[in-house]
Amino acid sequence: MTRRYGSDLIVDLIKQYNIPHISLNPGSTYRGLHDSLVNYGGNKPPMILCPHEEIAVQIAHGYAKTTGKPMAAIVHDTVGLLHCTMAVYYAYLDRVPLMLLGAAGPMDPARRRPHIDWIHTSVHQAQPIRDYIKWDRQPVTAQEVVESFARAHRVATQDPQGPVYLCYDAGFQEDLLTTEVPLPDPARFAHGTPAYPDPHALDALAAQLVAAETPVIIAGYAARNHGAFYDLIKLAEATGAAVIDLNNRLNFPTNHPLNISYAQKEILRRADLILAVDVKDLFGPLVETDRVARKTKFITPPHCKFAEIGFRDVNISKWSDEFQQLMAMDWQILADSSVALPLLTARVEEKVGARRAPIEARKREITKVHENARKKWRDEAREDWDAKPITTGRLALEIWDMIKNEDWVLTANTLEEWALKLWDFDAPTRHPGKSLGTSTQIGIALGVALAHKGSGKVVVDIQPDGDLMFDPGALWVAANQKLPMLVVMHNNRAYYNDWEHQIRIAEQRGTPVENAWVGQAINDPAPDFAALARSFGWHAEGPIEEPREIAPALSRALRVVKGGQPALVDTVTRFR
């Protein structure tokens, strides 16, 4: 054996599995691994320095959400893990494959430095995230390091995908290896073939889809496999079904005539069959909600039947209620939708026969609903065109006019859904799926931009001000990595989602609505996001309050982005 350390073996595994990037915030418990990555591994895969562990995990989240493949994030012992817990939770909620690597100890107390090695070491280090990861391991021997890495990669990438955590003892990392352990062949430890559906269940569902008077398809995570985007088009056109895209991934073209997303109530009131494809929350899209009284009422009629394709309760959380409302199913098909959809479509096409004429008539009716909604939204977006603060509808149209002839990608935020209503999302690569909670969006956007770096695509991030206030240091990462992304601030100078809640409560209770801003407004002082971005090396303009200045600023910023650098345009917007 040549002279090698335990951390060198970890680097060998990272290379063996073609992990493309490693995002991290520095920490002494993995100083051995850090040295091996840089000097033994030659900084390949390249290291991405982040000012916070949450950003490191979110970059890996955005990258995996875009590519379907994991990169790695490294977090320092207990404290680094605690910093990133929310980011790991959102990766779990969003069903993305994530390789989270950590370090501990040394676990041998005799090797610990006084104080710091003790307070930063936990008996069960994975405990803070164990309720919302798919698997974790703290290997002891070289053989276990190899086997656990192979298993973790397989578990992360098997559907439903999710984060895994591997924690390496600081002592093992820094000790010389005493045995040579063969590296696994990734092809022999792969995630396996997709799960096929029961053919009899598919036959029954195909017959029901053909016989239905008003079938509706609701899609959630289907287009995590990009082929499902096109398979859903074929199924919708074969059945004449209206389609509602929940946008957990971009599942269906926004400009397709059968897309009734955000205009679905008229069709849902008559629906007699709902097919949910990789939907986690089917209850939400089917009910009307009184947001003050917290009461719901079904939109669908009592005779409506329900079918489902996907992995709803596979890997169900025993801790979090993220599995959503329990819904009765007339047909529940446990299968990978990327396999089930084309098989189902073929069966539908075989059975259409005499039903072709009513299906075509239904498609024409749905097309009218779609076209009327799109026209209504375009008209609404032009209302108060010159208003100050800038309307979100105008901002969405201004961005669209600037990028529509480019090869563009939208990262996370859809500007109160205006982008989905006004832009033509015509391919699954246009958008990896909707944003998640506050303090997640800038980090995930960086991961999306990283995944597209060098592709020539124009990556657009519509960035809420409250979200960026959580992690402003993320802007430094983009400049450091030369990520060519266009950030357009949706800067309403408030945490308005919560402000709106306070307005509702005040109206219900008869308390002063004018006090709803307290503890919600971000305007005293108002942050200068353009100045902040410039301090990190960005091209930046704003704050822009005059609507006519938007287009010239976007044009200048786009030139910078196409030149390979990040650019930010800070626009001051209305609340809605």
For 220, other C-beta atoms within 10 Å of its C-beta total 26
Judge whether 550 lies within some domain. Answer: yes
Q: Which residues of 231-267 are buried (b: 16+ CB within 10 A; e: fewer)?
A: bbbbbbbbbbbbbbbbbbbbbbbbebbbbbbebbeeb
Show which of 162, 189, 216 is a domain's final residue: 189
Judge whether 305 lies within some domain. Answer: yes
pLDDT tens per residue, range 145-176: 999 999 999 999 999 999 999 999 999 999 99
Instruction: Tell whether the model's pLDDT for residue 553 goes beyond 60.
Output: yes
Q: What is the mean pLDDT of residues 480-505?
A: 92
Backbone dihedral angles phi then psi of residue 341, each to the nearest 5 degrees: -60, -50
**Rg of the chain taking only CA atoms, in angstroms:** 25
Show which of 367, 397, 424 is a domain's final residue: 367
Q: What domain range includes position 129?
A: 6-189
Are 258 and 130 found together in one domain?
no
Q: How many domains does the chain have?
A: 3
Show which of 163, 189, 215 is a domain's final residue: 189
Are 206 and 179 found together in one domain?
no
Judge whether 1 lies within some domain. Answer: no
The span from the CA of 198 to the CA of 494, in Å, is 50
Contact 173, 108 (CB under 8 A): no
The span from the CA of 190 to the CA of 155, in Å, is 9
Task: Supply the DSSP string of 60-85, one letter for each residue.
Answer: HHHHHHHHSS--EEEE-HHHHHHHTH
Residue 118: band (very low, low, confident or very high) from pLDDT cuts 50, 70, 90: confident
Q: What's the CATH code of the domain at 415?
A: 3.40.50.970
**283 burial class (0-12, 13-18, 19+ CB within 10 angstroms)?**
middle
- The pLDDT value given to residue 517: 87
Among 172, 165, 8, 159, CA closest to 81: 165
Are 223 and 296 found together in one domain?
yes
Are 215 and 171 found together in one domain?
no
Instruction: Tell whether the model's pLDDT for residue 576 goes beyond 70.
Output: no
Which amino acid belongs to residue 394? R
Judge whether 194 lies within some domain. Answer: no
Backbone dihedral angles phi then psi of residue 108, each to the nearest 5 degrees: -75, 110
Are 30 and 89 found together in one domain?
yes
Which amino acid belongs to residue 547? P
The whole-model pTM stands at: 0.96
Q: What is the mean pLDDT of residues 509-522?
A: 91
Are 220 and 157 found together in one domain?
no
- The pLDDT value given to residue 322: 86
Are 133 and 234 found together in one domain?
no
Instruction: Tell whether the model's pLDDT for residue 1 goes beyond 70.
Output: no
- The pLDDT value given to residue 478: 98
Q: Which residue has the tokens 């600037």?
A: 402
Q: What is the mean pLDDT of residues 193-211?
A: 96
Q: What is the mean pLDDT of residues 288-293?
A: 83
Are 403 and 437 found together in one domain?
yes
- The pLDDT value given to residue 260: 97
pLDDT tens per residue, range 374-433: 999 999 999 999 999 999 999 999 999 999 999 999 999 999 999 999 999 999 999 999
- The pLDDT value given to residue 405: 97
Among 294, 348, 296, CA closest to 327: 296
Are 39 and 181 found together in one domain?
yes
Are 481 and 556 found together in one domain?
yes
Are 218 and 82 found together in one domain?
no
